[in-house]
Amino acid sequence: MNNYTSARIGILGAGGYAGRELVRLLARHPRARIAWATSESEAGTALDDLVPGARGPALVKAEDAALDECDCVVSCLPHGESARWMERARAAGVRAIDLSADLRVPGAGTPEWAREAVYGLPELHRERIAGAQLVANPGCYPTAAILALAPLLRRGLAAGPVIVNAASGVTGAGRSPRRELLFAEVAEGFSAYAVGNVHRHLAEMRSQAAGLVGGRAPELVFTPHLLPVRRGILETIYVPLNEPLLGEPIGMWMDDYASEPFVRVTSGRMPSLADAVGSNRVAIGVTAVRDVAAPMLIVVAAIDNLVKGAAGQAVQNLNLMFGWPETEALA
């Protein structure tokens, strides 16, 4: 078990939405100190100009970041760019947490150093995260979907296809300017994207689902939507069952998550964004579906895409890696 009284944290990509959220959370962390933070477009900016109240040196460009002068590097860099910095951090002997999709699902071409990455969903992999040197922080959509489905998958009750309809606030698309994310394009609208089971997050959903069932997982059909709010994700998941259930289905979620500090099971109602936004919480509700030929459940999950879906989960993983209370700076 690791027992550090404090740790120096380096942040790659602090200028994006997830990076700013990470700075905000670490600014109130009693054991973590920001050693440096990078931004290519905002280098030279004071940290408290980026996030009011944050303490630390001014932002620098990534090439000027001293990887060996921190105890852990957290990367909020874009997909496809983050992996090379994780490799540098590991070569420097520094622990690392990657918020991109680069290391979440090993493939045929994954280098050996990257295969040591632990999938950073504490509710499933807490013990492995605590001993990890490299953590692949989960995606926002998979975090909600996997935790919502886990009780059914563990028990072998989910048949396929499982339909995951998910809606995310616009911060989930990143901070880079894009026409389709302008206020006039998004406001008062609601649209699907990556339709046809082509979203990158499907790979990690399938991988984690397979791990939970210990083999071949039910088929997943995932359709994300753009919700005209700043932050938050709401997922409505339709799950055909292999057999009828006796009693109230919510008991499985109550049992599995009774001791989890960041999972709230809502009894008697479905969760809304208000149950999760601004917190590191996953709120989950479940109900049986009436008047259908085969047994089916609807599971609804809500998270904040920037907290439990990104920076908050990274801090939760950081706490585990350094032997600190898991709720530090999050509760």
Give the active site residues.
Answer: 140
Which residues, in sequence order, are bridge partners of residue 265? Answer: 284
Q: How far is Cα of residue 329 from the mean position of the Cα atoms in its chain?
A: 17
Distances (CA, A) of 311 to 16, 25, 317: 11, 8, 10
Alpha-carbon gap, residue 128 to 144, rounded angstroms: 20
Q: Contact, 205 vs 146, CB < 8 A?
A: yes
93's torsion region: left (phi>0), alpha (psi -120 to 50) or beta? left
- Pairing outcome for strands 191-192 and 220-226: antiparallel
Q: Which of 276, 286, 248, 323 is closest to 71 using CA atoms?
A: 323
Closest Cα partner for 4 from 328, 326, 323, 329?
A: 323
Q: 3-state DSSP call for residue 108?
A: coil
* Angle separating helix axes 201-213 and 122-130, nearest 10 degrees: 80
In this structure, which amino acid lies at residue 323?
Answer: G
Amino acid letter, 230: R
Q: What's the rounded Cα separation, in Å, for the pair 138 and 296?
A: 27
